[in-house]
Chain A
Amino acid sequence: MPRPWWVSAIARLYPREYRERLGDDLVDAMLACVARERRGGVWPLLTGVRLLVDALTTFLPGTVRSAPSTGDSLMQSLIADLRHAIRMLRRAPLFSVLIVATLALAIGANTAIFSVVDAVLLRSLPYAQPERLVTIYEGIGSTMTAGFSAPDLMAFRDRVRSYDGLAAFRNAEFELSGVDQPERIHVARISASLMDVLGVAPALGRAFTNAEDTGGQLVAILSNGFWQRKFGADPSIVGRSVSLDRRSYTVVGVMPAGFRFPSPGPQLNNVPADVYVPISFTRIELNGFGMMYNNSVIGRLHAGVTAEHADAEARTIATRIFDEVYPAGLRENGFPQLIATVTRMQEDIVGNVRRLLVVLLAAVGVLLLIACADIACLMLTRAAARAREMAIRTALGAGRAPVMRLVLVETGLLAALGGAAGLGLAWTLQRLFLTSISESVPRAEAATLDGRVVVFTALASIGAALVCGLLPAFESSRRQSSGMLKESGRASTASARERRIFGVLVATQFACAVVLLASGALLVRSFARLMATDPGFRGDRVIAASTSLPATGYPTAASIRSFYATLLERLGAVPGVTAAGAATDLPLTVRERRAFTVEHPPAGVDGSGTIANDWVTGHYFEALGARIIRGRALAPSDSQTSEAVVVINETLARQYFHGDEPVNRRVAWGGARNHGPWMRVVGVIGDIKQAGLAKPTEPQTWQPWAQVPDAAVANNPTGIFRSLQLVVRSSVPPTSLVPAIRAEVRRLDPALPITGVQTLEEVVGASAASQRFNATLLGAFAGVALLLAALGIGGVLAISVSRRTQEIGIRLALGARAGDVLGMVVRQGMTLVLGGLAIGLPAAYASTRVLRSLLFDVTAHDPVSFVAATAVLCAVALAACAAPALRASRVDPITALRND
């Protein structure tokens, strides 16, 4: 007899003495089973599974005598149930497809979101021993957490003892020159020790040496993506040069694929870099006490040192640095206390998105629950139709167990199919989800459908099978005779019980739906409030663009000033432009904060503090459409040779001048006892949002860019004075001006890239992007939940109406009006809905607290949102009740009574 390999393989599972004693007889017996089953229409594969189980269970105790008299084993019954279930499902294809499709969507959505949650929150960082990696921040005073300044970093490194290694990094933008289309790329300036601290190594070439770290050599390491995009994955790239900021850097290495650093997520230096260069602090940076707190620092703790211990040490060291290292002038000036804090690196990266992701996962889980309740209703209905068959099984078998097993196998089959389809769907859904979030959600790009995700899908499918199937399984196995043998028209205790079960299912659905609706309403309201916030400028018809003049092409302040002056003049002359200006920062961002003091502050007011500052040129305020409240705005007449002036915003006027007239008062940089030259306040501007729409406005000043000393303009290490943001107001649709703007820049310098071209409206929209995303997604979930619940109640009422046709006919015959019948059905439905609300509203009240950190200007218990959610839910529920109610009211009493 031909002997398939798998038969021999299963035979090998038997103990050796069996095989020796039985020899070929064992294999022949197995082959005979395959042939026998095939005659009965069973695939050899299935038989193979049974043979496998048979071989394995042979050695379990209790399998010899435990079989009932028919010789059935559990496995045989399960397989028989499975075949029966397949037959049943094929006989009702629409039903099966509906259920599988619903499950596929719900499980697929769950899987997609879980895969992101897994990649972002659960998996550890892709570095060596990531639990030992921490991020260290400096703080000034108690309010701001910032990066390290270069001298502070050096002092810190010399004093701490908790770390195997420390490394610093900072984002920068360089111009990529020497290509057809010059562009600006993201660069990270990194310590040579960074690779060691992370425990990574370049895929090609080498990391930076310590000498390169301090020596200012022009070497670079490319990211893998950049290497592929710009150099076609050239394997001989090491040693070639690349032109950054018009200087020639030598490539010494390429990072492996999948290395994405810095990671988005932390508040500082969170833009993944295309190119890495040594951090090479300049002399100015190394002596810059009290300013430029902009370096991110990470460290690898010694084995056994906890983050808490390192945190305590950091705080102590920060105080010591301030006392021992900081210049006396700063200390006496009331410079705020220095703090340092240590956070686990994973927490620093993902801490901000954790809440959102968990909320999304919970919401999509609730959706699955609602979908399962719908399916349970469907299966209960079908169970009623198969009652007789189930009853016979119950009578002939050993009790309820075989029937329950059959129903659970059916549900399990549906859930398995739904889960498998869902897994496939999840791939697409995951891609969709990622394209909308991967910019802002750190580590999201690592989300894949791997083993853990598949396990999650399997668990979700099993859970769904249980939720959908347990209730119908119980009900099927306890069918009462009266409910089944009597005619369908008359109500009885059995259908009363059934009505109760349906009622509970529908009420649960609506309870879940209202929780999602309330959450969605809160987020939508929050987003609306955010967008309604006055940003302080008129963003319509304004174009912004970012420029940066590299030192190589523009070594002197004169060249820089000349460039911008000419550019702004020419832009002003472009037809359609009403005003053109430039500033070091656009609205909704601020990078520069300084110590500040007021001359003769009002009584009881601390005249010193730290405020935001921006430098402007051209007709900036006019281009922005800012409101001038007192005095005047800055003008081109405020030049290098005229008096030093500033304008302030309302918040600063309020905080530092109280009710007094600020115009013509004097202010200066620095502390009360040690400050720079006085500057005169010439105007007060209406508040413009700095750190996004959601945060309150900080006190801010604007200075004329023309009045910055030449040395700073040319040599400031952050390059802030040679990288101005253009702001152009137009009388025509702003996007039509973009080509003209680009053309003017190209005229002045063909190699200069211009980036970040967007309208100010887009800038405002971008700052609300995450709120918009939250609102959209949760709103979509809430909508789907409501739809599913509406289907549930519509279906249940339709069944109820069709079962009570006779009763309705009697009522109509006895004089009830169609309207009364309609009212009766609607009341029946709305009672269920109210029951759901009774559970759901308190649940929503309790659970929306978790949304608090995602909301803007809206409390977690905002009554308007809750009322709106309830109203929408009731409206939809009413609509869902309408169709069956109308059908009930149209019952023809004569026909109904005849159908006894």
Chain B
Amino acid sequence: MPDTLSPQAFHILLALADRKPVHGYAIIQEVRRRTDGEISLTASTLYAAIKRMLDAGLIAETPATGETGGAPRRCYRITNAGLRLARADAERLARLVAFARDKRLLARRA
């Protein structure tokens, strides 16, 4: 098993990490906002990534809530497996940040 998530995967999982179902478009927006445009997913890239993560069991589809007509939009939520992976990666990042603080590159947290 490979050890780390790609940046794309990590941010998608992060966008779903609070366990609320999210639409695809909302994922794109949140990821773009959080990374200051560094990771800007197109719809096709996103849906390819989503399909792979569905296969891997990292996320799952949920029925959309509160439809008002028009085409049904797909919502996704994170699974336990996905949470575990995302958490592990986030912990790795947190350790790096702690190192940076120790070396006085960053100010200590209040």
Contact = CB atoms under 8 A, between A and B. Distances in A.
A398 B6 contact: yes
A1 to B, nearest CB: 29
A493 interface: no
Interface in B54-76: 54-58
B7 A395 contact: no
A392 B1 contact: yes
B4 interface: yes
Interface string A402-415: 10000000000000
Interface stretch (A233-241, A480-488, A678-686): A480-488
Nearest to A479: B55
Contact of A395 (B3, B4, B55): B55
Contacts of A397: 2, 6
A475 to B, nearest CB: 13
Interface string A44-86: 0000000000000000000000001110000000000000000
Interface in B14-63: 48-49, 51-58
B5 interface: yes
B1 A395 contact: no
B83 interface: no
Given A392-B1, A396-B2, A481 B55 contact: yes
Contact of B2 (A393, A399, A480): A393
Nearest to A69: B7
A68 B2 CA distance: 14
Nearest to B48: A399
B4 A394 contact: no
Nearest to B8: A398
A391 interface: yes
A226 to B, nearest CB: 68
A12 to B, nearest CB: 34
A484 B9 contact: no
A388 interface: yes
Given A70-B4, A396-B2, A480 B9 contact: no
A480 B2 CA distance: 20
Contact of A484 (B2, B48, B55, B58): B55
B6 A394 contact: no
B52 A485 contact: no
Contact of A481 (B3, B9, B54): B54
Interface in A386-443: 388-389, 391-399, 402
A388 B52 CA distance: 11
A215 B54 CA distance: 95
Contacts of A396: 2, 4-6, 9, 56, 85
Nearest to A402: B2
A393 B9 CA distance: 12
A199 B5 CA distance: 70
Interface residues of B, number: 19
Nearest to B82: A395
A845 to B, nearest CB: 45
A873 to B, nearest CB: 40
Contacts of A70: 3-4
Nearest to B61: A481
Interface residues of A, number: 20
A388 B2 contact: no
Interface in A463-509: 479-481, 484-485
A681 B55 CA distance: 94
A388 B4 contact: no
Contacts of B57: 388, 391-392, 485
B89 to A, nearest CB: 10
B2, B7, B52, B58 — most chain A CB neighbours (10 Å): B52
A392 B5 CA distance: 10
A482 to B, nearest CB: 10
A402 B4 CA distance: 14
Contacts of B58: 392, 395
Contacts of B48: 399
B4 to A, nearest CB: 5
Nearest to B12: A395
A392 B4 CA distance: 11
Contact of A394 (B1, B3, B55, B85): B55
B52 A391 contact: yes
A485 B55 CA distance: 8
B50 to A, nearest CB: 9
Contacts of B4: 69-70, 396
A391 B7 contact: no
Given A388-B57, A485-B57, A394 B7 contact: no
A272 B67 CA distance: 93
B6 A480 contact: no
Contacts of B53: 395
Contacts of B1: 389, 392-393
A485 B59 CA distance: 13
B92 to A, nearest CB: 11
Tell which of A70, A396, A484 has the most Cβ of chain B within 10 Å: A396
> Which of A388, A392, A397, A402 has the most CB atoms of chain B within a 10 A radius of its CB?
A392
Contacts of A485: 55, 57
A480 B52 CA distance: 9
A70 B10 CA distance: 13
Nearest to B53: A395
A363 B18 CA distance: 63
Contacts of A479: 55
Contacts of B85: 396
Contacts of A402: 2
A399 B44 CA distance: 13
Interface in A162-207: none
Contacts of A395: 9, 49, 52-53, 55-56, 58
Nearest to A77: B2
Interface in A335-356: none
B106 to A, nearest CB: 19
A484 to B, nearest CB: 7
10 contacts: A70-B3, A389-B1, A391-B52, A391-B57, A392-B1, A395-B9, A395-B49, A396-B9, A402-B2, A481-B51
Interface of B: 1-7, 9, 48-49, 51-58, 85
Given A70-B4, A395-B49, A396-B2, 11 more contacts: A69-B4, A392-B56, A392-B58, A395-B55, A395-B56, A396-B4, A396-B6, A396-B85, A399-B52, A481-B54, A484-B55
- 7 closest pairs, A vs B, by CB? A391-B55, A395-B56, A395-B52, A392-B56, A391-B56, A395-B53, A481-B55
